[in-house]
Amino acid sequence: MSETWVRCSICGKEIKVGSAFYRCSVSGCNRKNAPFRFCSVDCWDAHVADKNHRSSECIEEVAPAR
């Protein structure tokens, strides 16, 4: 049984420990006090449309293992 690491910043779906997640390449979206993390590319895409970024990339990472 996997543990929840964090929830998606858009849809609220659980991102499990050790699973893939996505983040935005824009530095303002990766601040320690309010980092944006997404469960799918679709949620990242919704974030980009909402924040109206001019140039950003979707970066795939793996959630840390506990």
User: Who contacts 1 (Cβ-Cβ below 8 Å, separation ≥6)?
Assistant: none
1-51 tens-digit pLDDT: 569 999 999 999 999 999 999 999 998 888 888 899 999 999 999 998 888
DSSP 32: T
- Rounded Cα gap, residues 35 and 23, in angstroms: 8
Residue 1: its pLDDT value, please? 54
More confident residue, 54 or 38: 38
Residue 34: its pLDDT value, please? 83
Helices (H), the chain: 41-51
28 three-state secondary structure: helix
